[in-house]
Structure 1
């Protein structure tokens, strides 16, 4: 049975009466009541078309144009959003054209890419947009054929009357459909009737990317534009003096500008700028704390032992539970700072023209970029246009607007359009990093191996809340205490793919394996016991879906043949983040007395999978990202400067180091719950637990390759 959606959530603006006869439906995303319908002339439609970023249009040719509002950084939203609209519209996908919408707060209320929230937020709105357009087209066809609308069906851009055998293309109906009133409610498809959703669809930008067409921020060019690259200070330092005489001698360098504790070299192309920037002689002096990695190590220890912590969650009587425990398990886990390292370094174009500004480039938060620009220049936000390009990666780094503001400041100073480009070294040394964190876990066991107490204290550097206090195993332990301590540092940090959980999951899941071992229980059975306790007799509030979590645990155990092959050493991990659930099993086999990682099995419950191709790659990408950063990557500091400045010293995973990855999805018909981040957190724990099973070495710090427990292990990776 189809769903019905009420009109007070339709959020539509229908633009009718054009000479071309096209049907334009602007579907608002804010959830507010729609304004009155407007009839516009051809000239008005053309002049205002850029403002109607949230519409789908159907032309007399039958072509369907769908605008995708959220920034596209590789999570496939520019393909999956239109798929949802086209599904409810019953469009012919071959005739669907997709364009990137630019920032428009009148049409969108969450034009952001982050938190794996785009699809959960927009799912219903997208479906309603397609269903409403289809309703109008069917109504127009019913009038044209003089039949009841119930006799008509739709398929691949046509309205079909099976009794007469007549088929009317959407293009032949758009003129009449554009004159009809939007209904009070529209039917939505049943999940089982989907024909586009759930099928593998290629990325709509594939051809442009493969043929090198200009769709990224680095491709942007404007007449009269100058290029700029910037030397930024070490963290905690300020400029004392600048000698730019040698830099100015480089051909094609037109200016050197000192502003806001930065020094920018300006010219016509990036290669001369890179050469000139290296010739700058800048003396710095302290401007507050100047920190090094050695300082952080001491800081972690002091705060862990003596720091005043914020209690994030407390259930039962923890002191009593630990006082009565038959056994107490204690372990500390630590993770380093990490660079986001997107393939496309930071860049942005800005043109300040009096009290008007044009912004163009790759950002995950276009509204934040516009607001910070407005604050800097003290102008209204409506005076600022924001054009979005495709992003060559982001992983949270482009949630900030520092690189946008730099371009705006320089354009204001130079009175010219400016494109600021960061080099790879700039990106690593001047970036905002994944916070460094240390965790201390303690578990209290009774005589039967039941976990009766659980403590977690997290200490982070610019991490905010270092915990996810309401995630599993909270709710399954009678006595629980979770605390967090934050140290403010001049080293800038930022959300890094699956914030906090990207490391916390590894630490928690590794520690739960330690507890299971001390309790004499199988790691999977131990977790399922905790979930059963939370289901039967929850302690406090439960903020995760126990059945969905159990579902991925049981399916992962089944798909990986958990514990059934004595020659395979397996490590397990499961995590809930960003509304979705992922369980993973890592398989290690011993060859010539050395462990070989051969396979990772992943089971994901993210609700309905819109595009299996994109979803599969999201899970694989998350696993590769999680594995690479857990095993290899580290960012250390000396006197406010990163020691790692490029990929020669900042070790990323290589293609040959990726094992076989076996991906499965739970098919439960639940509305989509997010997928860009949830596959990353469980990976480190699954691999570390498998390494322990194979070698008896417990890895409690990342990256694994720098731990003494790993020094004589030559972990190999073999792909099937």
Structure 2
């Protein structure tokens, strides 16, 4: 179904004019603020017409179409998806589309960050509107030139076509004429049935550069006169710097300086290897500065807080006490997960050059505005005098939402008065960073004599989580009597969002526990969930924040594609979850090999609305599933007196290539606008696997990593 966009009321599209050398530059804003300014595209300055806008579509005289993409690229595919959306409405020739990464500019851009699986949902209509408005202007320009009604013209692959005469004019030839026309008040968007590009599999626009090793990443940044810096941070959470002997290190080859700040010791020199050797030779003494927690302490802390009489109530429906008092059967279980590092392939790094009255920043960050503000605070230089260029990121998973590594680069550059590229080692990444918080959940379910779920309790205890629950997610709204509360422990171990924050483990715990309840009720796990959803639709309890039909849709699709309950020789486990406005259901298939469970296949059904790039979407789901399997099976960061006990991949276990099962991905085509996809496939994975393992072995996995539990104990 097509739709109409009003440009005047939404202010989403602003025609800027012709740029030097010929062509049409079109800006579309993401806010309604107005301000005088200048738009710059590839070094060409263009009068901005006195209106603030933040992303650009340009058509050059040679027909090349460029979109300036503001959001950081961490592998979520926006550098491909953004131009695809524009090209679709524009009817452009995809071979002549290119995308350019924008630098930080919060006068022109809104939401210039990457997190929460929100880039494409946020930009979907704005990008479509830009393409459709450009197409309208090009058609009008062609109509004027050919002296025919615009309604008699069509477009295809960068050409305006007059079928009656057989004449065709390229977009490049029309660009200057189009730039002189007024932008329309309204534009009509394509009907989904007419999409030629959206929904198809398209290669990532950076593939060639990635595969041929072209400079794209923060570690590739180079500036003349640049120094390399590495930092020794306190080796345990709860320690502070007491003293450091720098004399011997300063005398080592290639070392320019050794500086201290904020409990850190930075070694600065001319080459990576020289600096690494010098850093390893540092003689530092630390002293205690707070609690030195060990993993062995956490079991006690969790139990004390789980049994705490008071907690923060997140949601309460009905009479929970009465439901449990009158229950025919009560099921009670606890689930626990450890701290986890983010482990991106590219360790933290950033370039900073602090000058007298300005700062130049370059590197991989999910939150460039936060990074710039941190630099401003450190240097006292106003944010408007700080430039920040974004590089592609070699993974992030939430770690690069933080600005600590940017602040470190700025601090060092300021102290040594030189341009500096700060580099973390893998050991730094695992031992001195931010982690997924450890969490423990206690679940209780009350069943009546017919096996109906009449009561539900969940208490979450998190380490620096704020709220370790998602109180409005399923099965809330489907149970008459429900209590969800949480308790917080403030740990000195630093934590940060980790791919699909909170739900990355909560989904495993909730969906595994629902399988326990279904078993106790004597019901099929899939039917048990569907019955609860039917109840929520017919007689909802309180507010329901999820879409019941969308959740049922992925449940039914996953069960159908996996042949749920119809296969022999494999054991199946089911899971479904809602996060970031999307729904994913999964079926894990396990076979017994020499008495041990082996994961053979995972079926996934996703509902993320309109799929933009089928190739990218499949990869997002497959990557999320592999990530979910690997961390559920193997991931475990432990502490002894505040010090991480795993410091590299020789003792921090990741999933291996031979352990990756076949993954089959399907999408629900429901015609709605895109919702999130970077994170939603990970949360349901652990439970789909664990529930299948239970079917095969009758061993219920309640703690992660699985490798340390039966039936896997002793497996390397």
Question: After superposition, what is the alpha-carbon deviation per residue over 1:151-203, rounded to whole angstroms, capped at 9, x for unaligned?
Answer: 11110001111111111100111111000111111111111111111111111
Q: CA separation of 1:57/1:320 partners in 2, compared to 1, >3 Å: closer, same or farther?
A: same
Cα shift at 1:271: 1.0
1:517 pairs with one of 516, 519, 523: 519
Cα shift at 1:320: 0.6
| Contact 1:535–1:546 (CA under 8 A) maintained in structure 2 | yes
Cross-structure match for 2:136: 135
Cα shift at 1:53: 6.2
Cross-structure match for 1:482: 484
Range moving further from structure 2, 584-593 or 13-22: 13-22
Q: CA separation of 1:307/1:256 partners in 2, compared to 1, >3 Å: closer, same or farther?
A: farther
Q: CA separation of 1:24/1:254 partners in 2, compared to 1, >3 Å: closer, same or farther?
A: same
| Contact 1:11–1:34 (CA under 8 A) maintained in structure 2 | no
Matches within 5 A, 1:314-353: 314-353=316-355
Question: After superposition, what is the alpha-carbon deviation per residue over 1:638-668, rounded to whole angstroms, capped at 9, x for unaligned?
Answer: 1111000000000000111001111111111
Cα shift at 1:479: 0.4
1:2 pairs with 2:2:
yes
| Contact 2:574–2:692 (CA under 8 A) maintained in structure 1 | yes
Cross-structure match for 2:232: 231
- SS of 1:274's equivalent in the other structure is helix
| Contact 1:238–1:284 (CA under 8 A) maintained in structure 2 | yes
Cα shift at 1:490: 1.3
1:444 pairs with 2:441:
no
Counterpart Cα distance in 2 of 1:345 and 1:391: 10
Cα shift at 1:372: 1.6
Question: After superposition, what is the alpha-carbon deviation per residue over 1:41-100, rounded to whole angstroms, capped at 9, x for unaligned?
Answer: 999727999x98621110111111111111001111110011001111111000011111
Cα shift at 1:15: 3.0
Q: CA separation of 1:515/1:143 partners in 2, compared to 1, >3 Å: closer, same or farther?
A: same
Cross-structure match for 1:295: 297
Q: CA separation of 1:516/1:224 partners in 2, compared to 1, >3 Å: closer, same or farther?
A: same
Counterpart Cα distance in 2 of 1:218 and 1:58: 32
| Contact 2:14–2:53 (CA under 8 A) maintained in structure 1 | no
1:433 pairs with 2:435:
yes
Question: After superposition, what is the alpha-carbon deviation per residue over 1:350-403, rounded to whole angstroms, capped at 9, x for unaligned?
Answer: 111123111100000101111121222233211111100000000000000000
1:310 pairs with one of 312, 316, 324: 312
Question: After superposition, what is the alpha-carbon deviation per residue over 1:317-372, rounded to whole angstroms, capped at 9, x for unaligned?
Answer: 10010001010000000000000000000000111112311110000010111112
Range moving further from structure 2, 495-504 or 21-30: 21-30
1:204 pairs with 2:195:
no
Counterpart Cα distance in 2 of 1:217 and 1:354: 24
Cross-structure match for 2:160: 159
Q: CA separation of 1:126/1:47 partners in 2, compared to 1, >3 Å: closer, same or farther?
A: closer
Question: After superposition, what is the alpha-carbon deviation per residue over 1:219-273, rounded to whole angstroms, capped at 9, x for unaligned?
Answer: 0011111110000112111111112233223211111111111000000111111
Range moving further from structure 2, 495-504 or 250-259: 250-259
1:559 pairs with 2:523:
no
1:640 pairs with one of 622, 639, 642: 642
- SS of 1:692's equivalent in the other structure is helix
Cα shift at 1:593: 3.0
- SS of 2:265's equivalent in the other structure is strand
Q: CA separation of 1:267/1:38 partners in 2, compared to 1, >3 Å: closer, same or farther?
A: closer
Counterpart Cα distance in 2 of 1:283 and 1:36: 55
Counterpart Cα distance in 2 of 1:609 and 1:38: 35
Counterpart Cα distance in 2 of 1:37 and 1:424: 43
Counterpart Cα distance in 1 of 2:399 and 2:603: 29
Q: CA separation of 1:22/1:37 partners in 2, compared to 1, >3 Å: closer, same or farther?
A: farther
Cross-structure match for 1:623: 625
Cross-structure match for 1:543: 545
- SS of 1:444's equivalent in the other structure is strand
Cross-structure match for 2:29: 28
Q: CA separation of 1:36/1:294 partners in 2, compared to 1, >3 Å: closer, same or farther?
A: closer
Counterpart Cα distance in 2 of 1:581 and 1:6: 31
- SS of 2:143's equivalent in the other structure is helix
Q: CA separation of 1:230/1:307 partners in 2, compared to 1, >3 Å: closer, same or farther?
A: farther
Cross-structure match for 1:602: 604
Counterpart Cα distance in 2 of 1:362 and 1:295: 36
Question: After superposition, what is the alpha-carbon deviation per residue over 1:558-577, rounded to whole angstroms, capped at 9, x for unaligned?
Answer: 00000012432100000000
| Contact 2:341–2:435 (CA under 8 A) maintained in structure 1 | yes
- SS of 1:173's equivalent in the other structure is helix
Cα shift at 1:36: 8.6
| Contact 1:17–1:40 (CA under 8 A) maintained in structure 2 | no
Counterpart Cα distance in 2 of 1:219 and 1:41: 23
| Contact 2:19–2:44 (CA under 8 A) maintained in structure 1 | no
Cα shift at 1:12: 3.3
Counterpart Cα distance in 2 of 1:40 and 1:106: 13
Question: After superposition, what is the alpha-carbon deviation per residue over 1:129-152, rounded to whole angstroms, capped at 9, x for unaligned?
Answer: 111111111111111111111111
Counterpart Cα distance in 1 of 2:616 and 2:551: 23
| Contact 1:18–1:42 (CA under 8 A) maintained in structure 2 | no
Cross-structure match for 1:718: none
Matches within 5 A, 1:394-543: 394-543=396-545
| Contact 1:23–1:59 (CA under 8 A) maintained in structure 2 | yes
- SS of 1:673's equivalent in the other structure is coil
Normalised by the length of structure 2, the TM-score is: 0.97
1:611 pairs with one of 610, 613, 620: 613
| Contact 2:28–2:55 (CA under 8 A) maintained in structure 1 | yes
Q: CA separation of 1:354/1:92 partners in 2, compared to 1, >3 Å: closer, same or farther?
A: same
Cα shift at 1:33: 6.2
Cross-structure match for 1:264: 266
Q: CA separation of 1:141/1:35 partners in 2, compared to 1, >3 Å: closer, same or farther?
A: farther
- SS of 1:420's equivalent in the other structure is strand
Cross-structure match for 1:104: 105
Range moving further from structure 2, 246-255 or 168-177: 246-255
| Contact 1:303–1:459 (CA under 8 A) maintained in structure 2 | yes
Matches within 5 A, 1:165-204: 165-204=166-205
Counterpart Cα distance in 1 of 2:43 and 2:270: 38
Range moving further from structure 2, 370-379 or 564-573: 370-379
Aligned length: 712
Counterpart Cα distance in 1 of 2:18 and 2:567: 69
Counterpart Cα distance in 2 of 1:374 and 1:357: 9
Cα shift at 1:3: 1.2
| Contact 1:236–1:287 (CA under 8 A) maintained in structure 2 | yes
Matches within 5 A, 1:5-16: 5-7=5-7, 8-16=9-17
Question: After superposition, what is the alpha-carbon deviation per residue over 1:476-500, rounded to whole angstroms, capped at 9, x for unaligned?
Answer: 0000000111111111100000000
1:149 pairs with 2:176:
no
Normalised by the length of structure 1, the TM-score is: 0.96
Counterpart Cα distance in 1 of 2:709 and 2:39: 68
Cross-structure match for 2:695: 693
Q: CA separation of 1:61/1:308 partners in 2, compared to 1, >3 Å: closer, same or farther?
A: same
- SS of 2:684's equivalent in the other structure is helix
Q: CA separation of 1:551/1:480 partners in 2, compared to 1, >3 Å: closer, same or farther?
A: same
- SS of 1:263's equivalent in the other structure is strand
Cross-structure match for 1:62: 63
Cα shift at 1:26: 1.6
Cα shift at 1:525: 0.5
- SS of 2:554's equivalent in the other structure is helix
Cα shift at 1:709: 4.7
- SS of 1:376's equivalent in the other structure is helix
